[in-house]
Structure 1
């Protein structure tokens, strides 16, 4: 077992999952139920299955596409997502500046 890889994966996924919509959905479901153990088992199973699918898909892709290219594509994807999320704010601030200049 590669413990440094295990630890870094755990920390990365744990931090990525804090406060995301999955956690919020789990809180909402748990709040409407008096069975928190069932909610925990259901949400944990879903996360494990989604992670398994991602690990299998990543392993399969790595055998076909070089790891450097996969990292570049993932980085570009995250960059595009970030730009799309920030675009409304950036375009509205430009609109405010041009309105102030008039």
Structure 2
């Protein structure tokens, strides 16, 4: 097993999920009085399933599309989404709050 790849993948996903919508949804469900073990098992299974889909799609795409084009496409998508976000914030008259993922409204 490639432990370096394992550790870097774990760290990247762990840090990316901190404070993410998935974690907030899980926190909310666990705090709703339901069985926390059922919430843990279901949310863990959902994350495993979405990761499996991503790995399978990544494997299929890598067979037909060179890695450089995948990286370029991903970069382009992030730039386009950033521009859309900034234009939307400017049109609504709100200044984006760093790290919030949503524009802040003036009171």
| The two structures share one fold, judged by TM-score above 0.5 | yes
Structure-2 residue corresponding to 1:33: 33
CA distance in 2, matches of 1:90, 1:2: 46
Q: Give unpaired runs (5+ residues) of structure 1.
A: 94-102
Runs of 4+ in 1 over 2 A off after TM superposition: 88-93
Q: Deviations over 1:61-85 (max 9, x none)?
A: 0000001100111111112112222
TM-score (norm 2): 0.79
Give the aligned CA root-mean-square deviation in angstroms: 1.4
1:56 shift after superposition: 0.5
Question: Between Structure 1 and Structure 2, whose CA radius of gyration is higher?
Answer: 1
Equivalents in 2 of 1:82, 1:55: separation in Å? Answer: 25
Greater mean alpha carbon deviation, residues 63-72 or residues 84-93: 84-93
Quick check: which one's helix share is greater?
A: 1
Report the counterpart of residue 80 of structure 2 in structure 1: 80
Q: Secondary structure at the match of 1:88?
A: helix
- The unaligned stretches of length 5 or more in structure 2 are 95-107
The one of the two structures with greater contact order (alpha-carbon pairs below 8 A, sep at least 6) is 1
The equivalent residue for 1:19 is: 19
Q: Which moved more, 1:58-67 or 1:5-14?
A: 5-14
Give the deviation of 1:90 after TM superposition. 3.4
Q: How many aligned positions are there?
A: 93
Aligned-pair CA distance for 1:15: 1.1
